[in-house]
Amino acid sequence: MIIKNAKVFIDGHFVCTDVRYDNQKITEIGPDLCGDEVIDAQGNYLYAGMVDSHCHGGFLRSFNYTTSFKNKGTHEEQVRYLLDKLPSTGVTTVYPTLAVVYPPVVECYEDMRDSVRTIRKVHKDYKGAEPLKFHFEHPFPTLDRYLHPGLRPATPELADLVVEGDYSDVGIFGIAPDYENAIEFIDYLVSKGVDPEDGYTKATAAQTREAAEHGMNQASHLFNGYQPMHHRISGPAEGVLMEDRIMAQLTLDGYHVNPEWIKLTIRIKGLDRCYGITDLSGYSGLPEGENVMDDGGIIVTHDGFNWRPDGHLLSGNMVANEIMRCARDVVGLSMEDVGSLFFENPAKCLRLSDRGKIEIGRKSDFVIMDYDYKVLKTIINGEVYYEAD
């Protein structure tokens, strides 16, 4: 199969070339390829399928086991629905992101373990975006507003319980660098081949630096879940900004993080050390107004975002390709920067060498979009999985 007449995003630039692939990988890139069945992109934009490493759910379904959406089916049905739906947004690989469920429950770690069991079962026989690795977000915070009685001390034994002793499909695991035994826990994660993640923290820049020296290399949606920056204190955001060993996830909808902070981050860290995420939650898809969940919880949705009644911002109501449009039109980034942040940098920052870039030998996962990031066609393993009406 050959894709022709596309503006192909490669190494931070759009180039006019053809791409040949089979049902496993990209086999040839160059002009005027012939001798195969053709997909005509009609002048639109061709990207590698997006790797979304920070996604809690979407479309009123959740990767976390929760009673908020119990009327949407069993947890397994919700996971399967999510994987089937994500390619319509440009996502072909996802890190199911599991967090402490609010309102807090005492069994939060057991709930994450049960979610792991379901997702591993689905991964054996799924359709759609691949649930490649797990992302455990803020199970061990120090930031005051995320503390509650259900949290337990960070120990290897508790981490083992959550993943049932199997770290082969664990990608990212969070712990605040100022946690009492953070360094020992980070060392344990690194020994298991897991990327330790900064976030939900009041750490000093020095504590952040020490964590990086022990292998902490990811930052959960920078600025959100961090003690705010102040010119008289040394804080966690400054630590991430100044530490080249830590890659920064960015929420680029123009509201979670002010556009000027986004641009400052890219200027300080460099574009290659930043990558876009959706942080998509199960609440995505709610109508405007006050929404009562299946478990009685209330979510207030207005102006494209979801809030708790106490004013705590939960998530955006936008999916991946809609966030990309905001990154260009609200944040003010170029299409080349948006392409890097969402399509090439996730794989680069997470050291995934088999996908996330249009390059010979990588997976034949693609998305064709128009100028305004409408998904026209998504290809997974060489087959058209989604096509717009």
Q: In what order do the strands lie in the sheet with 289-292?
A: 289-292, 298-302, 305-307, 313-316
In terms of Cβ atoms closer than 10 Å to its own Cβ (0-12, 13-18, 19+), residue 30 is: exposed
Distance CA 38, CA 32 (A): 12
Would the pLDDT of 104 be above 80?
no
Total-model pTM:
0.95
Segment (H or E) for 160: helix 156-163
Instruction: Please give the mean pLDDT across all residues of the chain.
Output: 95
Nearest to 46 by CA among 346, 335, 251: 335
Chain segment 67-100, per-residue pLDDT in tens:
788 899 999 999 999 999 999 999 999 999 999 8
Q: What is the pLDDT of residue 295?
A: 82
State pLDDT tens for residues 192-231: 999 999 999 999 999 999 999 999 999 999 999 999 999 9
pLDDT digits (tens, 9 = 90+) for 272-310: 999 999 999 988 888 889 988 888 889 999 888 888 898
- Give the Cα separation of 80 and 119 in Å (integer): 9
Domains of the chain: 2-46+366-387 (2.30.40.10), 50-349 (3.20.20.140)
Instruction: Report the pLDDT value the prediction gives residue 280, as an integer from 0 to 100.
Output: 94
pLDDT band of 103, cuts 50, 70, 90:
low
Q: Is the pLDDT of residue 102 over 80?
A: no
Give percent of the chain above pLDDT 90.
85
Backbone angles phi, psi at 386, to 5 degrees: -135, 140
CA atoms within 13 A on the CB side of 301: 18
- How much is the pLDDT for 107? 84
pLDDT value, residue 92: 98
